[in-house]
Structure 1
Amino acid sequence: MMLRWYLVAAGTCVALSFLVPDGSWWQVAVQVLTGYLAVSAIIAGALRHRGTARAAWLAFAAGVGGNATGILVEAYSFHVNAEYESPGWPDVGYLALYPGLAIGLVLLIRRRSEGHDWGALVDATTVTTGLGLLAWVFMIRPAIDQTDLSPLAHLTGVAYPVGDVLVLAMLTRLLLGGGARSAAFRLMIASAFLFLAGDVTWAVLNTIGVEPGPAAHRVLGAVFLLAYVLVGHAALHRSAAQIGETAGPPPKLGPGLLVLLTLASLMAPLLLLGQIAAGEVTDALPIAICSIVLFLLVVIRMAQLLRQLEAQTARVRELSRTDELTGLPNRRAWGAELPAALERARRDGAGLAVVMIDLDHFKRFNDEYGHPAGDRLLKSAAAAWSGQLRGTDHLARYGGEEFIALLPGADTAESVAVLRRLMAATPLGQTFSAGLAQWNGVETSDELVARADAALYDAKRAGRNRVEVASAQPDTDARLTPR
């Protein structure tokens, strides 16, 4: 209900701005009222939603309030004192918009980001550097070059485009970072861009010495009024409470962002070519500095992308060797580990055993309790068995309900002792059958696994819930039943 009344009141003010006489007190009243309505809506929304971004909303309210007050002070100076010359007290109010927006955006960035997103920071810096050079050439330097102005007037004239670049940098960083794109977020972003659009338009008109007519003046004023309305709408929207919450990863380096980064990176050479074509290079040093900065940023971004690629490659390699359900090494990883273990055992003259393990009646368990329960059994069994193995042992999922264990340096007796612990730790009262093969020092890894697999089937045929030792070494044959 509060949002509805706010939109009705603010929308009425925007409509009246086109109807009241241009330059009149009525127009001033409508503009200032629109700004103060937005401030009231922002404060009410911050207090109402109790979200994670209250400080950011209050910073926005301070900036918008200062900007609206600037309109009132300028009107007072002009209508009461019959003159207004910049810089003056109205500029203090107008300039308050920039720190208010910038501080609010910084607080949102910190709230919405998990850790340090260096990629988004480099991308935002690249875009800001390119656009900052553009602002220097067409707005900042022309303001500095005006020799008939006082130092304070120079400072004030430069402060406006610098503020625009600062806010644009924060907006770019916010958009390139993570977080949910809720309705309140989009309304707030649209409001900030409208403030920038209106401000840049005024700056360009002042630079080229064009005075807008009454109709254009109303339209430009309506741009700021609409920016007031949108930020107030954002604060009262039901999604405003979540605007500072982290949700989801940062956007990917897609085609749109690549085009934007390319244009920003080409800004310096394009401006240089333009000045050469015009017959006079007036900004050689800023363009050179900007070119160096942009080059370094591109190199840094490439290094980041290479590191990300290496990390992703390592992660894919790890996933390709890890069983997704149990987290154990899979058959592919086992196939690479066993030959290396045999070579180490041959070099060190140590014993080595391989055990094939198969959960008993697993299909019956699945049919009775369902496949999700079967998956939980596999996961819990893998975790329980891993906790009972020695530090040098390796357990892998071989396929289905079959697991395989590598026991370096173990003889038959030690291997049997390990398997006793595994049998006792098997969860949910389940049992397993196992085939144990002791390496004879000459056979290949495939031959060793084949002997363990044959022993496993002997254990199944013998009634399950037991371990059979491979028969290649008769003196080590054993039968094990859990105690």
Structure 2
Amino acid sequence: MMLRGYLATAGTCLALSFVVPDGSWWQVAVQVLTGYLAAAAVVVGALRHHGTGRAAWLAFAAGIGGNATGILVEAYHLHVNGEYEAPGWADVGYLLLYPAFATGLVLLIRRRSRGQDWGALVDATTVTTGLGLLAWVFMIRPAITEAGLSPLAHLAGVAYPVGDVLLLAMLTRLLVGGGTRSTAYRLIGASACLFLAGDVTWAGLNTVAVEPGPAAHRVLGAVYLLAYVLVGHAGLHRSAAEIGESAGVPPKLGPGLLVLLTLASLMAPLLLLGQIAAGEVTDALPIAICSIVLFLLVVIRMAQLLRQLEAQTARVRELSRTDELTGLPNRRAWAAELPAAVERARRDGAGLAVAMLDLDHFKRFNDEYGHPAGDRLLKSAAAAWSEQLRGTDHLARYGGEEFIALLPGADPGESLQVLRRLMAATPLGQTFSAGLAQWNGVETSDELVARADAALYTAKRAGRNRVEVAQPATDSRLTPR
């Protein structure tokens, strides 16, 4: 209800800004009221958030309130004193928007990042560097070199584009970083974009020495008023409490961001080409410095992406060799480990045994208790058996309810002791049948597994809940059951 009332009132003020006389006290009242309403809405919303990102919202409110106060101060001088000589106290209010809004964005970024998101930081720095060079060429340097101004006027002229660059840097960092994309998040981003769009439009008009007419002046004023309204809407929206939540996943380098990074990286050479075409290179040093910085940032980002790719490749490789349910090595990993273990045993002259395990009556267990219970049995059995193995032993899931154990350096007696411990540790009162095969020193890994598999089949036929030791290999042409 409060949000609806605010939007209705703010919308009315926005509509009145196109109706009231241009330059009148009515116009000033509408603009200032819109700003103060937005600041009050943000404060009320911050108090309702129970401390979740409250400092960030209060910073937004301070920036909006200060900016609206600047409108009031300038109007007072114009209507009472007949003129406003810039820079003055109104500029203090106007300029408060930039550090306050940037502070709020920084606080939100810290809450959303949950750590060092170096990729987003490099992306934001790249965009800011490229667009910052653009601001230097067309706004900052002209403000510094303009003749006939006092030092304070030069400082104020530089402060506005520097504030825009600061706001742009924080907004870019927010947009390219991780975190939830809630309605409040989008409203804050849209508001900052409107402030930047209004400033860039005014700067462009001043550069070409064009004074906007009454209609254009109203539209430009409405851009700032709409930015006020969006901040107030964000502060009262129910998603404001979620704006500082982390998404838990790193942000993606999507097509839009790639286009933006490309344009930012090309900004320096494009400006240089433009100045060469104009017949005078006036910003050679800034363009050279910016080119070096952008090149280094691109190299850093490529190195980050390569490390990320390597980490993902290693993760995929690990997942391809791990059983998703039990966390044990799967059959693929086993197929790679067993031949290596046989070669080590052959080289060292050590013993080696392989045991095939099969949970008894697993289908009956699934039918009686359900497949989720069957999955829990497999997971708990894998965990319980792993605790009973020796440090050198390996357990893998072979498929279904079948597991296979590799017992390096074990003689027949040690192998049987290990399997008895596993039988005693089997959870939920269940049992298993096992086939145990001792490597004879000459057979291949496939032949060793085939003998263990045949012994397992013998154990199941003999009544289950037992361990059968495979007969010694007499023929290398063994076949599985």
Asked if 1:68 is matched to 2:68, the reply is yes
Displacement of 1:286? 0.5
Unmatched 5+ stretches in structure 1 = 475-483
- Alpha-carbon distance between aligned partners in 2 of 1:405 and 1:327, rounded to the nearest angstrom: 15
Residues 65-115 of structure 1 show CA distances to partners (whole Å, capped at 9, x for unaligned) of: 110011111111222222211111111000000011100001111111132
**SS at the partner of 1:358?**
strand
Unmatched 5+ stretches in structure 2 = 475-481
Displacement of 1:251? 3.2
TM-score calculated relative to the size of structure 2: 0.97
- Alpha-carbon distance between aligned partners in 2 of 1:333 and 1:447, rounded to the nearest angstrom: 18
Asked if 1:22 is matched to 2:22, the reply is yes
What is residue 331 of structure 2 aligned with on the other side?
Answer: 331
- 5 Å-filtered alignment, 1:129-278, equals 129-278=129-278
Judge conservation of contact 1:36–1:65 (CA < 8 Å) in 2: yes
Judge conservation of contact 1:52–1:111 (CA < 8 Å) in 2: no
- Alpha-carbon distance between aligned partners in 1 of 2:24 and 2:40, rounded to the nearest angstrom: 24
Q: Which stretch of structure 1 is more off in the superposition, 432-441 or 367-376?
A: 367-376
- Alpha-carbon distance between aligned partners in 1 of 2:160 and 2:204, rounded to the nearest angstrom: 12
Judge conservation of contact 1:51–1:242 (CA < 8 Å) in 2: no
Residues 42-82 of structure 1 show CA distances to partners (whole Å, capped at 9, x for unaligned) of: 00011113252111100000100110011111111222222
- Alpha-carbon distance between aligned partners in 1 of 2:234 and 2:7, rounded to the nearest angstrom: 11
Runs of 4+ in structure 1 displaced over 3 angstroms? none
- Alpha-carbon distance between aligned partners in 2 of 1:253 and 1:277, rounded to the nearest angstrom: 34
Judge conservation of contact 1:52–1:245 (CA < 8 Å) in 2: no
What is residue 125 of structure 1 aligned with on the other side?
Answer: 125
- Alpha-carbon distance between aligned partners in 2 of 1:243 and 1:60, rounded to the nearest angstrom: 14
Residues 341-368 of structure 1 show CA distances to partners (whole Å, capped at 9, x for unaligned) of: 1121122221111100000011111111
Q: Which stretch of structure 1 is more off in the superposition, 86-95 or 340-349?
A: 340-349
What is residue 477 of structure 1 aligned with on the other side?
Answer: none
- Alpha-carbon distance between aligned partners in 1 of 2:249 and 2:333, rounded to the nearest angstrom: 30
What is residue 34 of structure 1 aligned with on the other side?
Answer: 34
Q: Which stretch of structure 1 is more off in the superposition, 338-347 or 34-43?
A: 338-347
What is residue 481 of structure 1 aligned with on the other side?
Answer: none
- Alpha-carbon distance between aligned partners in 1 of 2:338 and 2:233, rounded to the nearest angstrom: 65
Amino acid at match of 2:402: E
What is residue 3 of structure 2 aligned with on the other side?
Answer: 3
- Alpha-carbon distance between aligned partners in 1 of 2:151 and 2:404, rounded to the nearest angstrom: 81
Amino acid at match of 1:439: W
Displacement of 1:370? 1.4
Displacement of 1:420? 1.1
- Alpha-carbon distance between aligned partners in 1 of 2:343 and 2:7, rounded to the nearest angstrom: 77
- 5 Å-filtered alignment, 1:64-463, equals 64-463=64-463
Judge conservation of contact 1:434–1:459 (CA < 8 Å) in 2: yes
- Alpha-carbon distance between aligned partners in 2 of 1:318 and 1:239, rounded to the nearest angstrom: 38
**SS at the partner of 1:13?**
helix
Residues 300-345 of structure 1 show CA distances to partners (whole Å, capped at 9, x for unaligned) of: 1111111111111111111111111111001111111111111211
Amino acid at match of 1:186: R
Identity rate of aligned residues, in percent?
88
Displacement of 1:200? 1.5
Displacement of 1:257? 1.4
What is residue 478 of structure 2 aligned with on the other side?
Answer: none
**SS at the partner of 1:429?**
coil
**SS at the partner of 2:437?**
strand
Amino acid at match of 1:272: L
Displacement of 1:208? 2.2
- Alpha-carbon distance between aligned partners in 1 of 2:114 and 2:449, rounded to the nearest angstrom: 47
| RMSD between superposed Cα atoms in Å | 1.2
Displacement of 1:197? 0.9
Displacement of 1:254? 1.9
Judge conservation of contact 1:176–1:250 (CA < 8 Å) in 2: no
Displacement of 1:25? 1.3
Displacement of 1:196? 1.0
- Alpha-carbon distance between aligned partners in 2 of 1:204 and 1:143, rounded to the nearest angstrom: 13
Displacement of 1:211? 1.5
**SS at the partner of 2:395?**
strand
Judge conservation of contact 1:3–1:236 (CA < 8 Å) in 2: yes
Amino acid at match of 1:386: S
- Alpha-carbon distance between aligned partners in 2 of 1:248 and 1:196, rounded to the nearest angstrom: 30
Residues 207-231 of structure 1 show CA distances to partners (whole Å, capped at 9, x for unaligned) of: 2222112111111111111111110
Amino acid at match of 1:319: L
- Alpha-carbon distance between aligned partners in 1 of 2:49 and 2:108, rounded to the nearest angstrom: 15
- Alpha-carbon distance between aligned partners in 2 of 1:16 and 1:255, rounded to the nearest angstrom: 40
Displacement of 1:247? 2.1
**SS at the partner of 2:428?**
helix
